[in-house]
Amino acid sequence: MKIEDGTEATILAGTELPLLLRDSESVDIKVLDTTEIHVEAVVDELLR
């Protein structure tokens, strides 16, 4: 995907996907875990 389509990142928008793919370090595409992004945003907002 990176070479053929120019993909820079993949969004893991399901709670199970990051669990299934967490050990996939051989992937050369950045992985965005939406659960982690949301939790970090909530914690940042609570600590403000």
pLDDT in tens, 16-28: 777 777 666 666 7
Confidence (pLDDT) at 27: 65
Confidence (pLDDT) at 6: 84
pLDDT in tens, 1-48: 777 888 888 877 777 777 777 666 666 777 788 888 999 999 999 999
Confidence (pLDDT) at 25: 64
Q: Using an 8 Å Cβ cutoff, are 18 and 35 in contact?
A: yes
Which of 37, 29, 9, 33 is closest to 20 using CA atoms? 33
Question: Positive or negative CA dihedral for 4, 23, 40, 35?
Answer: positive
| Phi, psi for 30 (deg, rounded to 5) | -65, 135
> CA–CA separation, 30 vs 4, rounded Å?
16
> CA–CA separation, 6 vs 15, rounded Å?
26
